[in-house]
Amino acid sequence: MRKAVIVGERRAGLEEVPDPRPERDWALVKVHAAPMCTEYKRFVAGRRAEFLGHEAAGEVVALAQPGRVEVGDRVVVMPQYPCGRCELCVAGDYIYCENNCDLAEFTGSREGSATMAQYLLKPSWLLPEIPEGVSYEHASLACCALGPSFGAFQRMGLNAFDTVLVTGAGPVGLGAVVNARFRGARVIVMESVPYRVDRAERMGAECVVHPGDPDSLTRIKDLTDGKGVDCALDCSGSVQGERFCIDATRRRGRVAFVGECGEELTVRVSPDLIRKGLMVIGSWHYNLAYFPLIMKVIQKSPLIDLLISHVIPMSKVQEAFELSASHQCAKIILKPWE
């Protein structure tokens, strides 16, 4: 099979590797749609990467033994390789599993772990079925495009009475706009890239503030009767975005973080949390039981097509990475067989 690889600084290509083979209750999935996420950071840094991607949609083409899926099933591929037995996995919160399986130890090779490839391997219980009429491209949005914000909004209880701030309008942040608008919430966005500002406005964001504008917080207070937003979600993965969420949220409001950030955020427990009465949530993905609800968003939201800006053959992976690194895009989806 062919798979995408990063071979050097701003250089990507394809490699031919052996097809993976299913073991026990794992399934072999033919990948039809592989969304791109933060892999562009490795592309820019020049860090070689042979196993790219963590989200996909495709078709079950082989099984080692009968399981929860059948050959021919159209499925979304959930991320990681959780154990499936611990309390978190059984409860549907598999993303937090502390006993992830070592694929190379299990199958004898790491091949099959990448989603930017023609085939992959996954435990059958992590392959929820795609409803009839939903394309592979749309179904693949059930992972990182819509998943992080959906899980956070579920935990925050976001509804039509709320005003929500979304910091960072990359693919995850734009997915948050889709989810928030589907729930009827009023949306304010913080973003600096003109392409993504325009996309957020087309999706129905009432106001987009610039992170470099010193009056951004005042603007948000003016839009919320001086109180601040009811909910805030950081998708930027930046200290500035995280800090702004805390500052812009009203007393007794709710703040969630889904953007990965390795820098240190200064939080003053008393004035920021105790005296404001904030609920602060760290959220990675969503409970597997919510999959049918995310499919409802995909099936019924009029904004879904705006979330996908480019569908690119994997044979043009160099072009795809250059585009992803430019930030002049929403969600980019690779087609491994083209």
- Segment 190-196 mean pLDDT: 97
Tally of CB atoms within 10 A around 120: 27
Residue 261 pLDDT exceeds 90: no
pTM of structure: 0.95
In this prediction, residue 108 carries a pLDDT of: 86
Cα 222 to Cα 224: distance, rounded to the nearest angstrom? 6
DSSP, collapsed to helix, strand or coil, labels residue 231 as: strand
pLDDT for 223 equals: 97
User: pLDDT digits over 108-163, tens only?
Assistant: 889 999 999 999 999 999 999 999 999 999 999 999 999 999 999 999 999 999 99
Q: Is the model's pLDDT at 336 over the cut of 90?
A: yes
Q: Is 278's pLDDT higher than 90?
A: yes
- Tens of pLDDT along 293-321? 999 999 999 999 999 999 999 999 999 99
Is pLDDT at 100 greater than 90 in this prediction? Answer: yes
CB-CB contact of 321 with 13 (8 Å):
no
Q: Give the mean pLDDT of the chain.
A: 96
Amino acid at 161: F
Rama region for 84: left / alpha / beta (φ>0; ψ in -120 to 50; rest):
left
- CA dist., res. 187 & res. 161, Å (int): 11
Q: Is the model's pLDDT at 67 over the cut of 90?
A: no
pLDDT of the residue at 173: 98
pLDDT at position 106 is: 83
The full DSSP string for 104-161 is HHHHSSSTT--SSBSEEEEEGGG-PBPPTT--HHHHGGGTTTTHHHHHHHHHHT--TT
